[in-house]
Structure 1
């Protein structure tokens, strides 16, 4: 099967804080997990997409299979693990933004191992998309991510990587070591400014871009949140301005950016055009609650850009 993008990682059932009720805080049930969010975003932009993961043999796992099939994401290589659960997380909202709490230890996806990988499936893709979170959840999953990258590179498949730092999952020295070792193996990386500042010890976006380019990756797309993005290649820097929207929940916005950006690259667009488009998609995704429900379709993004929001 020829796919534009194959993503690998851990999906998480989302419980997103809603308004309080008579019995206290209520939560909206939804879908999350960074690379799952990204592949759904890519599919909504029209990219031929597939996902690699393991799910528990439970109701939450069934929820994800139903979601991906509705979205047109291929699930033919998704593993069902009857001995482990599907992971979940809670999102609460406060003055400083959204806060995550996880219940993912021992999840089905954390038990992935290199021998789980379908090499031909990865070899047939245009891009393999992975993240730092998948490397952080277990040693075996970290090995699986690196093995998937090795398969991709051996078969001319491009690799994209979101550093996506979660210090609740692993200590900073290990996160730095693994992330910095992974970056040179990739064709494009999507660090956020917040994560990159912690990982590199640098604060200036240009300096961060220089640092990552110095590691050997040819394209750095530094996500600046509401301030837009910096697209950096050797000898070239281009900024994409932020967009004004009525933001209510930024959960998954960076993942939406990743998927939308990749969907444009596989269409043959250059990185700047891809960033302009992804910036709009990510902005729109903050206008509703949850990681997946507000992800816009391609028609919605084009309509938004057509209103002069670029």
Structure 2
């Protein structure tokens, strides 16, 4: 496999989703894993920086990445440690998440575990707010990896991906803003950004993030599309009308497709248009991974939309 063009750092998870019969079906989650898979399906050489346990769940994740063409060269199998898992249950109030990730193998990732040579030769590094919230050591690893990548001339892409179950909003706001100030590409979602910035209008949120530092801001708007801005040149791309069933992982799909297409075209607006369609397609199936389209699927759907 060729050297990774995008390295993603964070915690992968195994999912157990409750079926209508009450049983649990195993699947996969973890935002950075989803992003890496989306990037790979959209033509990029993507890889992960993480740790998994020497248990059946870690093995299953490694098998998934191998099948998807995602590099595991920088995935450590930690002897005697466990891979994080979560459960999805359903009732009349919707779906609920229960996590079993405290002390997971990934949470022990630290700056000393980083593949410095790989980061210094990689064009793009990606992490999220969840990567920052998992543990203090992983947070330090994200900061060190971003610095290593940017010092060598690469770019740092960051999604503040807020999870208040992992840390208080006030802490999340302070830390994610400081990391955002050191990134080149900001990939916030509208709901998260409103909580983190205290602002409501999408245009004000984009300007806020530009002021922190990123040259490119792609603010995803859910079914309403994306507001993409490069050096303050803002363009709204409307959402695509699809038979949406499940929006789980749509933002991750967008991020991976956007970064892969940006590497290919060097055109942020074209990349946003491509990723906007990919994310819409991903909502037409269930789960975070299975519905992520391939690059050919996304291009065909875009061509059909342009001709209609």
| TM-score normalised to structure 2 length | 0.95
CA contact (8 A) 2:210 2:232 kept: no
Q: CA RMSD in A?
A: 1.6
**Separation of aligned partners in 2, 1:285 and 1:124:** 31
**Equivalent position SS for 1:308:** helix
Return closer, same or farther for 1:245/1:183 CA change in 2, 3 Å cut-off: same
Shift of 1:220: 0.8
CA contact (8 A) 2:156 2:185 kept: yes
**Separation of aligned partners in 2, 1:96 and 1:254:** 23
Q: Which runs of 5+ in 1 are unaligned?
A: none
Question: What pairs with 1:172-187 in structure 2 (closer than 5 Å)?
Answer: 172-187=169-184
Query: Which one of the candidate residues 240, 243, 248 is aligned to 2:240?
Result: 243
Return closer, same or farther for 1:182/1:128 CA change in 2, 3 Å cut-off: same
CA contact (8 A) 2:184 2:213 kept: no
Shift of 1:95: 7.1
Cα-to-partner distance string for 1:184-221 (whole Å, 9 max, x where unaligned): 11110111000000000011100100111111111110
Return closer, same or farther for 1:7/1:200 CA change in 2, 3 Å cut-off: same
**Separation of aligned partners in 1, 2:40 and 2:142:** 22
CA contact (8 A) 1:16 1:290 kept: no
Q: Which runs of 5+ in 2 are unaligned?
A: none
Query: Hey, what does 1:14 align to over in structure 2?
Result: 15
Query: Hey, what does 1:208 align to over in structure 2?
Result: 205
Return closer, same or farther for 1:211/1:98 CA change in 2, 3 Å cut-off: farther
Query: Which one of the candidate residues 244, 251, 255 is aligned to 1:254?
Result: 251
CA contact (8 A) 1:189 1:219 kept: yes
**Separation of aligned partners in 2, 1:129 and 1:306:** 29
Query: Hey, what does 2:63 align to over in structure 1?
Result: 66
Residue range with higher mean Cα deviation, 286-295 or 56-65: 286-295
> How many aligned residue pairs are there?
306
1:171 aligns with 2:183: no
| TM-score normalised to structure 1 length | 0.95
